[in-house]
Amino acid sequence: MAADLPPDPRGSIVVLTVPGLDELVTRLGAMGYMVKGPTHGESAIVPGPVRSSADLPRGVHDVQSPGSYRIVENDDDEELFGWAVGPESWKKEYFPSSQVMWRGEVVGDTVVFREPDHSRSPVAIFGARPCEVAAMNIMDRVLDEGVHRDSRYSDRRNSSFITVVECARPADTCFCVSMRSGPGIEKGFDVALTELNDQHGHRFIARSGSPRGAEVLSSVLSRPATEHDLEARAVLLTTASEAMSRSLPYDEVADLLARNVEHPRWSDVAERCLSCGNCTLACPTCFCSDVHDTTDATGAIERRRTWSSCFDLEHSYLHGGSVHESASSRYRQWMTHKLSTWWDQFDSTGCVGCGRCIVWCPVGIDITEEVTAIAAQDQVRVGVPS
Protein backbone atom coordinates (compact mmCIF):
# COMPACT_ATOMS: atom_id res chain seq x y z
CA MET A 1 0.00 0.00 0.00
CA ALA A 2 1.27 3.49 -0.83
CA ALA A 3 0.56 4.72 2.69
CA ASP A 4 3.07 2.20 4.09
CA LEU A 5 5.96 3.55 2.07
CA PRO A 6 8.35 6.21 3.39
CA PRO A 7 8.33 9.77 1.98
CA ASP A 8 9.91 10.12 -1.46
CA PRO A 9 13.01 12.31 -0.94
CA ARG A 10 13.60 13.17 -4.58
CA GLY A 11 10.62 15.36 -5.38
CA SER A 12 10.21 13.45 -8.64
CA ILE A 13 7.03 11.88 -10.02
CA VAL A 14 5.34 10.10 -7.16
CA VAL A 15 1.95 8.70 -6.32
CA LEU A 16 -0.16 9.68 -3.31
CA THR A 17 -3.30 8.12 -1.95
CA VAL A 18 -5.98 10.13 -0.13
CA PRO A 19 -4.06 10.03 3.20
CA GLY A 20 -1.05 11.43 1.34
CA LEU A 21 -3.25 14.16 -0.09
CA ASP A 22 -4.41 15.00 3.43
CA GLU A 23 -0.80 15.20 4.54
CA LEU A 24 -0.09 17.59 1.69
CA VAL A 25 -2.90 19.90 2.82
CA THR A 26 -1.78 19.68 6.46
CA ARG A 27 1.82 20.40 5.48
CA LEU A 28 0.80 23.52 3.54
CA GLY A 29 -1.19 24.73 6.54
CA ALA A 30 1.81 24.12 8.81
CA MET A 31 3.94 26.21 6.45
CA GLY A 32 1.65 29.18 7.15
CA TYR A 33 -0.50 29.02 4.04
CA MET A 34 -4.23 29.60 4.11
CA VAL A 35 -5.30 26.60 2.01
CA LYS A 36 -8.21 27.21 -0.36
CA GLY A 37 -9.66 24.88 -2.92
CA PRO A 38 -12.82 23.73 -4.66
CA THR A 39 -15.71 23.06 -2.27
CA HIS A 40 -19.28 21.99 -2.80
CA GLY A 41 -21.29 25.17 -2.31
CA GLU A 42 -25.06 25.29 -2.26
CA SER A 43 -25.49 24.56 -5.93
CA ALA A 44 -22.05 24.97 -7.49
CA ILE A 45 -18.38 24.19 -6.95
CA VAL A 46 -16.88 27.32 -5.44
CA PRO A 47 -13.55 28.28 -3.81
CA GLY A 48 -13.47 27.81 -0.04
CA PRO A 49 -11.20 26.83 2.86
CA VAL A 50 -9.76 23.31 2.63
CA ARG A 51 -8.52 21.60 5.80
CA SER A 52 -8.47 18.07 4.41
CA SER A 53 -9.76 16.02 1.47
CA ALA A 54 -13.11 15.87 3.31
CA ASP A 55 -13.71 19.49 2.26
CA LEU A 56 -13.28 18.68 -1.45
CA PRO A 57 -16.33 17.93 -3.64
CA ARG A 58 -16.29 14.12 -3.43
CA GLY A 59 -18.50 12.36 -5.99
CA VAL A 60 -19.67 15.66 -7.48
CA HIS A 61 -19.90 16.21 -11.22
CA ASP A 62 -20.99 19.24 -13.22
CA VAL A 63 -23.19 19.41 -16.30
CA GLN A 64 -22.57 22.59 -18.25
CA SER A 65 -23.99 23.99 -21.47
CA PRO A 66 -24.63 27.48 -22.89
CA GLY A 67 -26.56 29.39 -20.21
CA SER A 68 -26.81 26.36 -17.93
CA TYR A 69 -24.89 24.82 -14.99
CA ARG A 70 -26.01 21.89 -12.87
CA ILE A 71 -24.40 19.73 -10.18
CA VAL A 72 -24.90 15.96 -10.08
CA GLU A 73 -23.94 13.99 -6.96
CA ASN A 74 -23.05 10.33 -6.68
CA ASP A 75 -22.48 9.07 -3.13
CA ASP A 76 -20.73 5.89 -4.35
CA ASP A 77 -18.16 7.84 -6.33
CA GLU A 78 -14.90 8.70 -4.53
CA GLU A 79 -13.56 11.04 -7.21
CA LEU A 80 -12.59 14.40 -5.71
CA PHE A 81 -11.93 16.32 -8.92
CA GLY A 82 -14.59 14.85 -11.23
CA TRP A 83 -15.81 18.19 -12.54
CA ALA A 84 -14.49 20.94 -14.83
CA VAL A 85 -14.59 24.55 -13.57
CA GLY A 86 -17.05 26.37 -11.32
CA PRO A 87 -18.54 29.84 -11.77
CA GLU A 88 -15.79 31.60 -9.80
CA SER A 89 -12.23 31.63 -11.02
CA TRP A 90 -9.22 32.25 -8.78
CA LYS A 91 -8.96 35.80 -10.17
CA LYS A 92 -10.51 37.38 -7.11
CA GLU A 93 -7.84 35.84 -4.87
CA TYR A 94 -5.26 38.17 -6.39
CA PHE A 95 -7.49 40.86 -7.84
CA PRO A 96 -10.44 41.28 -5.44
CA SER A 97 -13.75 42.49 -6.83
CA SER A 98 -13.64 45.44 -4.41
CA GLN A 99 -10.48 46.79 -2.81
CA VAL A 100 -9.60 49.97 -0.92
CA MET A 101 -6.69 51.73 -2.65
CA TRP A 102 -6.12 54.40 -0.04
CA ARG A 103 -7.84 56.33 2.69
CA GLY A 104 -7.42 59.94 3.67
CA GLU A 105 -8.39 62.06 6.63
CA VAL A 106 -8.24 65.71 7.54
CA VAL A 107 -5.65 66.34 10.24
CA GLY A 108 -5.43 69.98 11.18
CA ASP A 109 -4.93 71.97 7.99
CA THR A 110 -3.81 69.07 5.84
CA VAL A 111 -5.13 65.85 4.37
CA VAL A 112 -3.15 62.75 5.33
CA PHE A 113 -3.29 59.78 2.95
CA ARG A 114 -2.81 56.22 4.16
CA GLU A 115 -2.56 53.02 2.20
CA PRO A 116 -4.49 50.26 3.98
CA ASP A 117 -2.61 47.23 5.20
CA HIS A 118 -3.21 44.61 2.50
CA SER A 119 -0.98 42.00 4.13
CA ARG A 120 -2.51 38.62 4.99
CA SER A 121 -1.43 35.00 5.24
CA PRO A 122 -0.15 33.67 1.92
CA VAL A 123 -2.65 31.48 0.10
CA ALA A 124 -2.11 27.94 -1.14
CA ILE A 125 -4.56 27.21 -3.92
CA PHE A 126 -5.29 23.51 -3.85
CA GLY A 127 -6.98 22.24 -6.99
CA ALA A 128 -6.74 24.96 -9.64
CA ARG A 129 -7.29 23.71 -13.18
CA PRO A 130 -4.60 24.01 -15.91
CA CYS A 131 -6.68 26.63 -17.74
CA GLU A 132 -6.88 28.61 -14.50
CA VAL A 133 -3.11 28.57 -14.11
CA ALA A 134 -2.86 29.74 -17.73
CA ALA A 135 -5.25 32.57 -16.82
CA MET A 136 -3.05 33.51 -13.83
CA ASN A 137 -0.07 33.72 -16.18
CA ILE A 138 -2.06 36.00 -18.48
CA MET A 139 -3.05 38.22 -15.55
CA ASP A 140 0.62 38.34 -14.48
CA ARG A 141 1.49 39.96 -17.80
CA VAL A 142 -1.12 42.64 -17.20
CA LEU A 143 -0.77 43.37 -13.50
CA ASP A 144 2.67 42.10 -12.45
CA GLU A 145 4.98 42.32 -15.45
CA GLY A 146 3.76 45.44 -17.22
CA VAL A 147 4.90 49.03 -16.95
CA HIS A 148 2.21 49.76 -14.34
CA ARG A 149 2.82 47.01 -11.82
CA ASP A 150 0.07 46.52 -9.25
CA SER A 151 1.94 45.76 -6.03
CA ARG A 152 -1.22 44.52 -4.29
CA TYR A 153 -1.68 41.91 -7.00
CA SER A 154 2.01 41.02 -7.15
CA ASP A 155 2.34 40.56 -3.39
CA ARG A 156 -0.59 38.15 -3.27
CA ARG A 157 0.36 36.28 -6.41
CA ASN A 158 4.06 35.86 -5.69
CA SER A 159 3.49 34.62 -2.15
CA SER A 160 1.00 31.93 -3.14
CA PHE A 161 1.52 28.21 -3.60
CA ILE A 162 -0.26 26.56 -6.54
CA THR A 163 -1.40 22.96 -6.61
CA VAL A 164 -3.02 22.24 -9.95
CA VAL A 165 -5.14 19.22 -10.83
CA GLU A 166 -5.24 18.05 -14.43
CA CYS A 167 -8.68 17.69 -16.02
CA ALA A 168 -10.26 14.30 -16.61
CA ARG A 169 -13.83 15.43 -17.20
CA PRO A 170 -14.04 18.61 -19.29
CA ALA A 171 -17.46 20.21 -19.50
CA ASP A 172 -19.33 20.42 -22.78
CA THR A 173 -18.37 24.11 -22.88
CA CYS A 174 -14.59 23.67 -22.43
CA PHE A 175 -12.19 24.30 -25.32
CA CYS A 176 -8.83 24.52 -23.56
CA VAL A 177 -7.17 22.08 -25.99
CA SER A 178 -7.56 24.55 -28.83
CA MET A 179 -6.29 27.40 -26.60
CA ARG A 180 -3.26 25.31 -25.57
CA SER A 181 -4.07 25.65 -21.89
CA GLY A 182 -5.22 22.14 -20.89
CA PRO A 183 -6.28 19.52 -20.00
CA GLY A 184 -2.69 18.69 -18.93
CA ILE A 185 -0.06 21.08 -17.62
CA GLU A 186 3.75 21.11 -17.62
CA LYS A 187 4.72 24.38 -15.92
CA GLY A 188 3.45 27.28 -13.83
CA PHE A 189 2.69 25.27 -10.67
CA ASP A 190 4.34 24.14 -7.47
CA VAL A 191 2.66 20.73 -7.45
CA ALA A 192 0.60 19.10 -10.20
CA LEU A 193 -1.79 16.26 -9.44
CA THR A 194 -3.55 13.83 -11.74
CA GLU A 195 -6.41 11.90 -10.17
CA LEU A 196 -6.60 8.26 -11.24
CA ASN A 197 -9.30 5.81 -10.23
CA ASP A 198 -8.99 2.43 -11.96
CA GLN A 199 -8.16 -1.22 -11.23
CA HIS A 200 -4.96 -0.05 -9.51
CA GLY A 201 -6.91 2.06 -7.01
CA HIS A 202 -7.83 5.66 -6.26
CA ARG A 203 -4.62 7.66 -6.32
CA PHE A 204 -2.92 10.85 -7.46
CA ILE A 205 0.16 11.18 -9.61
CA ALA A 206 2.07 14.12 -8.13
CA ARG A 207 4.75 16.14 -9.90
CA SER A 208 6.72 19.05 -8.49
CA GLY A 209 7.14 22.17 -10.61
CA SER A 210 9.29 24.26 -8.26
CA PRO A 211 11.87 23.72 -5.49
CA ARG A 212 9.27 24.42 -2.79
CA GLY A 213 6.87 22.04 -4.52
CA ALA A 214 9.57 19.35 -4.46
CA GLU A 215 10.27 20.07 -0.80
CA VAL A 216 6.61 19.73 0.16
CA LEU A 217 6.13 16.57 -1.88
CA SER A 218 9.21 14.98 -0.34
CA SER A 219 7.66 15.38 3.11
CA VAL A 220 4.46 13.40 2.48
CA LEU A 221 3.89 9.67 2.17
CA SER A 222 4.21 8.54 -1.42
CA ARG A 223 5.59 5.88 -3.72
CA PRO A 224 7.38 6.29 -7.05
CA ALA A 225 5.09 6.34 -10.08
CA THR A 226 5.07 3.16 -12.18
CA GLU A 227 4.69 2.68 -15.92
CA HIS A 228 1.03 1.80 -15.25
CA ASP A 229 0.46 5.14 -13.54
CA LEU A 230 2.12 7.15 -16.30
CA GLU A 231 0.26 5.28 -19.02
CA ALA A 232 -3.02 5.86 -17.17
CA ARG A 233 -2.26 9.59 -17.04
CA ALA A 234 -1.53 9.69 -20.78
CA VAL A 235 -4.80 7.89 -21.56
CA LEU A 236 -6.74 10.19 -19.24
CA LEU A 237 -5.38 13.33 -20.93
CA THR A 238 -5.98 11.98 -24.44
CA THR A 239 -9.54 11.00 -23.53
CA ALA A 240 -10.21 14.42 -21.98
CA SER A 241 -8.78 16.20 -25.04
CA GLU A 242 -10.88 14.15 -27.42
CA ALA A 243 -14.02 14.81 -25.38
CA MET A 244 -13.94 18.53 -26.20
CA SER A 245 -16.23 19.37 -29.07
CA ARG A 246 -15.74 23.14 -29.03
CA SER A 247 -12.63 24.89 -30.33
CA LEU A 248 -11.21 28.16 -31.58
CA PRO A 249 -8.64 28.52 -34.37
CA TYR A 250 -5.78 29.62 -32.10
CA ASP A 251 -3.39 30.70 -34.87
CA GLU A 252 -5.93 32.41 -37.10
CA VAL A 253 -8.51 34.02 -34.84
CA ALA A 254 -6.63 37.28 -34.14
CA ASP A 255 -6.29 38.17 -37.84
CA LEU A 256 -9.78 36.86 -38.61
CA LEU A 257 -11.38 39.27 -36.15
CA ALA A 258 -9.09 42.16 -37.05
CA ARG A 259 -10.27 42.07 -40.67
CA ASN A 260 -13.93 41.60 -39.74
CA VAL A 261 -14.68 44.60 -37.55
CA GLU A 262 -17.62 45.51 -39.78
CA HIS A 263 -19.03 41.99 -39.97
CA PRO A 264 -22.86 41.70 -39.83
CA ARG A 265 -22.52 39.12 -37.05
CA TRP A 266 -21.81 41.90 -34.52
CA SER A 267 -25.35 43.23 -35.04
CA ASP A 268 -26.75 39.73 -34.91
CA VAL A 269 -25.16 39.01 -31.53
CA ALA A 270 -26.27 42.43 -30.24
CA GLU A 271 -29.89 41.37 -30.68
CA ARG A 272 -29.29 38.57 -28.18
CA CYS A 273 -26.80 40.22 -25.82
CA LEU A 274 -28.29 41.81 -22.67
CA SER A 275 -25.11 43.80 -21.90
CA CYS A 276 -25.30 42.32 -18.39
CA GLY A 277 -21.51 41.86 -18.12
CA ASN A 278 -21.76 38.35 -16.62
CA CYS A 279 -19.24 37.05 -19.15
CA THR A 280 -16.64 39.58 -17.99
CA LEU A 281 -17.21 38.86 -14.29
CA ALA A 282 -16.92 35.10 -14.79
CA CYS A 283 -13.89 35.35 -17.08
CA PRO A 284 -10.60 34.57 -15.31
CA THR A 285 -8.67 37.11 -17.40
CA CYS A 286 -10.97 40.15 -17.57
CA PHE A 287 -9.21 42.81 -15.55
CA CYS A 288 -11.08 46.07 -16.21
CA SER A 289 -11.78 48.10 -13.10
CA ASP A 290 -13.21 51.41 -12.01
CA VAL A 291 -12.32 53.65 -9.07
CA HIS A 292 -14.74 55.56 -6.86
CA ASP A 293 -13.95 58.20 -4.26
CA THR A 294 -16.25 58.68 -1.30
CA THR A 295 -16.19 61.09 1.62
CA ASP A 296 -18.19 61.29 4.81
CA ALA A 297 -19.25 64.08 7.18
CA THR A 298 -16.04 63.75 9.21
CA GLY A 299 -13.94 64.45 6.15
CA ALA A 300 -12.70 60.88 5.80
CA ILE A 301 -11.95 59.96 2.19
CA GLU A 302 -11.76 56.53 0.61
CA ARG A 303 -10.72 55.44 -2.87
CA ARG A 304 -12.01 51.99 -3.78
CA ARG A 305 -11.31 49.93 -6.90
CA THR A 306 -14.07 47.62 -8.14
CA TRP A 307 -14.35 45.28 -11.08
CA SER A 308 -15.84 46.89 -14.14
CA SER A 309 -16.99 45.61 -17.49
CA CYS A 310 -16.65 46.73 -21.09
CA PHE A 311 -20.39 46.05 -21.35
CA ASP A 312 -21.10 49.06 -19.08
CA LEU A 313 -21.94 52.23 -20.98
CA GLU A 314 -19.84 54.22 -18.52
CA HIS A 315 -16.80 52.05 -19.13
CA SER A 316 -15.98 53.77 -22.41
CA TYR A 317 -17.18 57.21 -21.34
CA LEU A 318 -15.00 60.00 -22.64
CA HIS A 319 -15.84 63.70 -22.65
CA GLY A 320 -19.26 64.02 -24.27
CA GLY A 321 -20.38 60.39 -24.18
CA SER A 322 -19.55 56.72 -24.45
CA VAL A 323 -17.37 55.44 -27.26
CA HIS A 324 -19.17 52.09 -27.30
CA GLU A 325 -22.78 53.20 -27.34
CA SER A 326 -24.28 50.21 -29.12
CA ALA A 327 -24.47 46.65 -27.77
CA SER A 328 -22.79 45.44 -30.96
CA SER A 329 -19.76 47.69 -30.40
CA ARG A 330 -19.52 46.56 -26.77
CA TYR A 331 -19.63 42.86 -27.64
CA ARG A 332 -17.12 43.45 -30.45
CA GLN A 333 -14.83 45.31 -28.06
CA TRP A 334 -14.95 42.41 -25.59
CA MET A 335 -14.38 39.62 -28.09
CA THR A 336 -11.81 41.34 -30.29
CA HIS A 337 -9.83 42.32 -27.18
CA LYS A 338 -9.87 38.75 -25.81
CA LEU A 339 -8.89 37.09 -29.03
CA SER A 340 -7.12 39.69 -31.15
CA THR A 341 -5.85 42.99 -29.73
CA TRP A 342 -4.69 41.27 -26.51
CA TRP A 343 -1.83 39.96 -28.64
CA ASP A 344 -0.82 43.53 -29.57
CA GLN A 345 -1.04 44.63 -25.94
CA PHE A 346 0.35 41.66 -24.01
CA ASP A 347 1.78 39.30 -26.63
CA SER A 348 -0.61 36.52 -25.70
CA THR A 349 -4.20 35.49 -26.13
CA GLY A 350 -6.69 36.76 -23.54
CA CYS A 351 -8.71 33.54 -23.56
CA VAL A 352 -7.86 30.17 -22.03
CA GLY A 353 -10.94 28.27 -23.20
CA CYS A 354 -12.53 27.71 -19.78
CA GLY A 355 -16.02 28.19 -21.22
CA ARG A 356 -17.32 30.26 -18.28
CA CYS A 357 -18.52 33.09 -20.54
CA ILE A 358 -20.65 30.54 -22.42
CA VAL A 359 -22.13 28.91 -19.33
CA TRP A 360 -22.80 32.07 -17.34
CA CYS A 361 -24.25 34.09 -20.21
CA PRO A 362 -27.98 34.18 -19.38
CA VAL A 363 -28.88 33.90 -23.05
CA GLY A 364 -26.19 31.33 -23.88
CA ILE A 365 -24.05 33.36 -26.28
CA ASP A 366 -21.12 31.16 -27.23
CA ILE A 367 -17.78 32.77 -28.12
CA THR A 368 -16.76 29.75 -30.22
CA GLU A 369 -20.04 29.85 -32.17
CA GLU A 370 -19.63 33.59 -32.83
CA VAL A 371 -16.10 33.10 -34.17
CA THR A 372 -17.29 30.21 -36.34
CA ALA A 373 -20.07 32.39 -37.76
CA ILE A 374 -17.62 35.19 -38.57
CA ALA A 375 -15.18 32.74 -40.17
CA ALA A 376 -17.97 31.30 -42.30
CA GLN A 377 -18.43 34.70 -43.92
CA ASP A 378 -14.92 36.03 -43.64
CA GLN A 379 -15.19 39.53 -45.12
CA VAL A 380 -11.83 39.31 -46.87
CA ARG A 381 -12.47 35.89 -48.30
CA VAL A 382 -15.80 36.98 -49.78
CA GLY A 383 -14.24 40.15 -51.13
CA VAL A 384 -15.81 42.75 -48.84
CA PRO A 385 -13.30 45.47 -47.89
CA SER A 386 -12.55 45.57 -44.15
H or E segment at 271? helix 265-272
Pick the binder of ligand SF4 from 276, 288, 301, 313 (CB under 6 A). Answer: 276
Radius of gyration over every alpha carbon of the chain, rounded to an integer in angstroms: 23
Residue 43: Cβ within 10 Å count: 10
CB of 367: closest distance to ligand SF4 in angstroms?
A: 5
From 16-24, 237-245, 297-305, 350-358, span contacting ligand SF4 (CB under 6 A): 350-358
Between residues 181 and 222, which has the closer beta carbon with respect to ligand SF4? 181
- Exposure of 186 by Cβ count < 10 A (0-12 exposed, 13-18 middle, 19+ buried)? exposed
Q: Does 35 bind ligand SF4 (CB under 6 A)?
A: no
Between residues 257 and 279, which has the closer beta carbon with respect to ligand SF4? 279
CB of 341: closest distance to ligand SF4 in angstroms?
A: 14
Q: What is residue 340's DSSP assignment?
A: I
- Check: CB of residue 204 under 8 Å from CB of residue 16: yes
Pick the binder of ligand SF4 from 16, 232, 351, 371 (CB under 6 A). Answer: 351
H or E segment at 158? helix 151-158
Pick the binder of ligand SF4 from 16, 164, 279, 310 (CB under 6 A). Answer: 279
CB of 35: closest distance to ligand SF4 in angstroms?
A: 25
Between residues 163 and 285, which has the closer beta carbon with respect to ligand SF4? 285
From 57-65, 120-128, 252-260, 346-354, span contacting ligand SF4 (CB under 6 A): 346-354
Q: Does 361 bind ligand SF4 (CB under 6 A)?
A: yes
Q: Does 44 bind ligand SF4 (CB under 6 A)?
A: no
Q: Does 142 bind ligand SF4 (CB under 6 A)?
A: no
Between residues 17 and 328, which has the closer beta carbon with respect to ligand SF4? 328
CB of 143: closest distance to ligand SF4 in angstroms?
A: 16
Q: Does 282 bind ligand SF4 (CB under 6 A)?
A: yes
Residue 127: Cβ within 10 Å count: 24
CB of 342: closest distance to ligand SF4 in angstroms?
A: 10
Pick the binder of ligand SF4 from 79, 222, 277, 307 (CB under 6 A). Answer: 277
Between residues 131 and 193, which has the closer beta carbon with respect to ligand SF4? 131
Residue numbers 284-343 binding ligand SF4 by CB under 6 A: 284-285, 311, 338
**In Å, how far are 88, 198, 238, 249, 278 from 281, measured between CA atoms?**
9, 37, 31, 24, 5
CB of 134: closest distance to ligand SF4 in angstroms?
A: 9
Q: Are strands 34-40 and 289-295 parallel, antiparallel or unpaired?
A: unpaired
C-alpha torsion sign, points 69, 71, 77, 83: positive
From 33-41, 191-199, 216-224, 349-357, span contacting ligand SF4 (CB under 6 A): 349-357
Give the DSSP per-residue string, 364-384. Answer: ---HHHHHHHHHHT-TTTTT-
CB of 125: closest distance to ligand SF4 in angstroms?
A: 17
Between residues 73 and 290, which has the closer beta carbon with respect to ligand SF4? 290
Pick the binder of ligand SF4 from 197, 275, 316, 322 (CB under 6 A). Answer: 275
Which residue type, as a one-letter code, is found at position 324? H
CB of 274: closest distance to ligand SF4 in angstroms?
A: 4
| φ, ψ (nearest 5 deg) of residue 299 | 95, 0
Residue 296: Cβ within 10 Å count: 8
Between residues 20 and 127, which has the closer beta carbon with respect to ligand SF4? 127
**In Å, how far are 84, 269, 330 from 168, measured between CA atoms?**
8, 32, 35
Show Cβ contacts of residue 267 under 8 Å, excluding neighbours closer than 6 positions.
328
Q: Are strands 34-40 and 60-65 parallel, antiparallel or unpaired?
A: unpaired
Alpha-carbon span 98 to 95, nearest angstrom = 8
Between residues 217 and 310, which has the closer beta carbon with respect to ligand SF4? 310
| φ, ψ (nearest 5 deg) of residue 34 | -90, 110
Residues forming contacts to ligand SF4 in the complex (CB under 6 A) are 273-279, 282-285, 311, 338, 351-357, 361-363, 365, 367
